[in-house]
């Protein structure tokens, strides 16, 4: 069966214009949340959103030098401080499973 015409194969019934507007509004919402997080929690934060229909990415803060400062600051942090031990990531979905297995093996010996 052929995909519906006019909306790039999406079958959710939204037009291209409605989809672009939705993405634009969601990006604005992300920027507002980034601002709130940085302000309320005193975080240094950089947000970069790439869109397929825009020439330049949307960034927060809008000042490019602040984005570059945040990125440079991130790369200056030692690797062991970037990822806490028990943080769940795609590479490590069960951070404690290996440690628990090692403890269990030691008890059995």
96 vs 91: CA distance, rounded Å? 13
Q: From the CA atom positions of the chain, what is the Rg in Å? A: 21
Instruction: Look up residue 12 and give its two tokens.
Output: 């959710």
Q: Determine the topology of domain 16-80 in CATH.
A: SRF-like (3.40.1810)
Q: So what's the pLDDT on residue 40?
A: 94
Q: Model pTM?
A: 0.57
CA distances from 38 to 60, 63, 71, 81, 87 (A): 10, 15, 15, 20, 21
pLDDT in tens, 13-68: 778 889 889 989 999 999 999 999 999 998 888 999 988 877 888 999 999 999 99
Q: So what's the pLDDT on residue 88?
A: 61
For the chain, the structural domain boundaries read 16-80
pLDDT for 1 beyond 70: no
């Amino acid at each position: 069966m052929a995909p519906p015409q006019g909306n790039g194969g999406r079958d959710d019934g939204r037009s291209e214009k409605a989809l672009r507007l939705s993405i634009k509004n969601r990006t604005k919402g992300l920027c507002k949340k980034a601002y709130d997080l940085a302000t309320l929690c005193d975080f240094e934060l950089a947000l970069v959103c790439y869109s397929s229909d825009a020439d330049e990415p949307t960034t927060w803060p809008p000042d490019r030098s602040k984005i570059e400062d945040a990125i440079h600051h991130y790369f200056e942090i030692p690797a062991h401080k970037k990822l806490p031990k028990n943080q769940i990531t795609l590479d490590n979905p069960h951070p404690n499973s290996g440690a628990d297995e090692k403890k269990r093996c030691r008890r059995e010996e």
